[in-house]
Amino acid sequence: MRTQVGIVGAGPAGLFLSHLLQRAGIDCVVIETRSRKYIEERVRAGVLEQESSDVLRQMGLGARMDREGLIHHGINLRFNERLHHIDFQDLVGKGVMVYGQHEVVKDLVQARLDSGAPLLFEVSDVAVDGLDTKTPTVRFTHQGQAQELVCDFIAGCDGFHGICRPAIPEGVLKTYERTYPFGWLGILAQAQPASEELIYSNHDNGFALLSMRSPELGRLYLQCDPEEDLANWPDARIWEELNLRLAGGKGLPEGPILQKGVTQMRSFVVEPMQYGRLLLAGDAAHIVPPTGAKGMNLAFADVRVMARALDAFYRDGRDDQLAAYSEVCLRRIWKAQRFSWFMTSLMHRFPDDSAFDRRRQLADLDYLTGSRAAMTSLAENYVGLPMEWALS
């Protein structure tokens, strides 16, 4: 098999890249180790920055998002038993779209299959080599047959645990990582959300988040130990703690819990995001805590930079944008890491915090919600910073 760009991974990064390349007339093949059913049902966070949702619309991929997604013009911060609204529309004139990542994946998968472009599920034995040559290769097995895909470039969009990043020779990448001393116990509940917009709560017992997937489905989270045993959290205890942290014990709308799980909080970045003809994107290159709602948006930003660079290469014979790929992406990534760290530090209780630290944290929240300048800074980061196409 021969293609211009081999895309390893059919998550948001790989699928969105495939549409950007197809739009530019660049051939690509997407391969994925999981089944279509698995990737379409894997529940992840789902907040799209304004620019992310705008681009989906421009590409003709936003029809179902606009029918079923929820436009939010702000968020709520809760502390000291009081609710404070941050009005994005008033502060920066933008908003966000609440639309599950798995729903975005469904739309991208269906559009690619409808186009007839190659998208191979349930491949195995994936390996990449020849990365420092002009014809890097992706080898894999599909439907029992060994396959070799010869490419001009490989896009590593296969996530944190994928094979692309480890294929880069030892010593090339520098890793920056922080693991937080807590996790999120997340649930999907058949219950009407108690608020039309997200509630981030800082409580003496720890952080809580009220989010939603639809007017009938709530997505809620509790700060917990990263090694927490779900057996210690029966449904009744989860609702009791959610009520306490999010509503002062006054009673949230409750319903059957459809899913529950614990997610470890981590910040992770590798530099550079490229080696030879291999370009990394999304979780393969970086992870942010979900507190800042940046994961899928960063993946989209990466592949927009990548697609632009590949278009310049094929259309104009230029390789300067490819050479600058990492540097351009990392400027945005580190700003998103800073914001995600800020939101995580602002809203969570840390095990080693002193009484002084606790009072300082509450003072930070009091200042933020009382200062238009501080709220504007939060709003412009949350709705998404402008894309930086070139180095200043």
Catalytic residues, by residue number, are 72, 200, 290, 294, 382
The sheet carrying 70-72 orders its strands as 47-48, 96-98, 70-72
Cα–Cα distance, 350 to 134 (Å, whole number): 49
Residue 116: both structure tokens together: 């007839």
User: Can you tell me which residue has the tokens 């632009």?
Assistant: 308
Cα–Cα distance, 162 to 33 (Å, whole number): 10
Handedness of CA 135, 138, 139, 144 (dihedral sign): negative
Sequence-separated (6 or more) residues with CB below 8 Å from residue 219: 43, 46, 186, 187, 188, 189, 211, 212, 213
Cα separations in angstroms, 284 against 12, 162, 322, 387: 12, 7, 18, 20
Sequence-separated (6 or more) residues with CB below 8 Å from residue 246: 78, 194, 199, 201, 208, 210, 220, 252
| Residue 74 near residue 86, CB atoms below 8 Å | yes
Cα–Cα distance, 22 to 314 (Å, whole number): 13
Taking the C-alpha atoms of 205, 97, 219 and 67 in order, what is their torsion angle to the nearest 10 degrees? 160
